Amino acid sequence: MPNVQKETEADLIPIFIMGKRYLVPESLTIMKAIEYAGYQFIRGCGCRGGICGACSTVYRKAGDYKIYSGLACQTVVEPNMYLTQIPFFPALRREYDYETMEPVAESIYQLYPELFRCVACNACTKICPMDVQVLDYISALKRGDLEAATRISFDCIQCGLCASRCMGELPQYHIAQLARRLHGGKLAPRAEHLRQVVESIAAGKFADVMEELKALPVDELRKLYTERELEPAMSDEQWRPSNNAGL
């Protein structure tokens, strides 16, 4: 049953969840609107922070032929949205022995020969909720460029929406994940600063600080977390291993 809230009907907008009409506040995300309507998430909820890809949603708007996509935890509802969630798309993921694999494009070709069924329709890019240029990284892999495929697909959250629209029936997100593993684990320069941090952790450098944090009340921990200093995001050029060895 829908929740009983204080808002008047004038404060609410209509949306359709699995074909049924509900009135919800217009400021809510899709996920919160679904919960407002009375649904409980048993699975398909995920991190609620736009990272895990578990709440991928497709929708259309009234009178619009186009199918839109978004993450339910990030996308704000609009009047007369028709919503359907796709928490998992069953694309084929090949099994492989990572330790013995050569970090070359041919290793990917052997596991995913369907890569060359791509017809460059770009439907994969159009539906990606993270604005990843999916066709570009597939094209990079066809050229044998693992570094470019790794960089272009870096923001992929494995939601699977690309595979759901693919005319060539490629599991793009699984292919990209393998490319990142091969490049990041076997080709990219090792990060010296990471090695130093790992060694300092093993040596117990942060043990006392961790014990102090564990003894703090929850409210104090939350305050420290929200007031923490954040590093600025790296630009695309800074990310490139060729320009900044070790990153």
Q: What would the pLDDT profile of 38-79 be if each residue is shown by its tens digit?
A: 998 877 678 888 888 888 899 999 889 988 999 999 999 999
DSSP state of 87: S
Instruction: State the average pLDDT over residues 106-115.
Output: 97
3-state DSSP of 209-245: HHHHHHCCCHHHHHHHHHCCCCCCCCCHHHHCCCCCC
Tokens of 193: 């600063």
pLDDT at residue number 150: 97
The residue ranges of every structural domain in the chain are: 9-85, 98-186, 192-227
Condensed to tens digits (0 to 9), the pLDDT of residues 2-34 reads 554 455 666 899 999 988 999 999 999 999 999
Token pair recorded at residue 28: 């809510």
Residue 215 CA to residue 237 CA, distance in Å, equals: 41
Q: Are 188 and 241 in contact (CB under 8 A)?
A: yes
Inter-helix orientation angle 134-142/172-186, to 10°: 60
CATH number, domain 9-85:
3.10.20.30
According to DSSP, the residues that pair with 16 across neighbouring strands are 21, 82
Query: What does R_g of the chain's alpha carbons equal in angstroms?
Result: 22
Considering Cα of 23, then 24, then 29, then 30, what sign does the dihedral take? negative
Distance CA 23, CA 190 (A): 53
Q: Which of 111-115, 144-148, 224-228 has the lowest mean pLDDT?
A: 224-228
H/E stretch holding 147: helix 146-152
pTM (global) more than 0.85: no
Q: Could you tell me which CATH number the domain at 98-186 has?
A: 1.10.1060.10
The pair of structure tokens assigned to 32 is: 């919160």
Beta bridge partners of 24: 13
Same fold, 9-85 and 98-186: no
DSSP collapsed to 3 states, 11-46: HEEEEEECCEEEEEECCCEHHHHHHHCCCCCCCCCC
Please state, in angstroms and rounded to a whole number, the distance separating the CA atoms of residues 122 and 173: 14
pLDDT on residue 216: 94
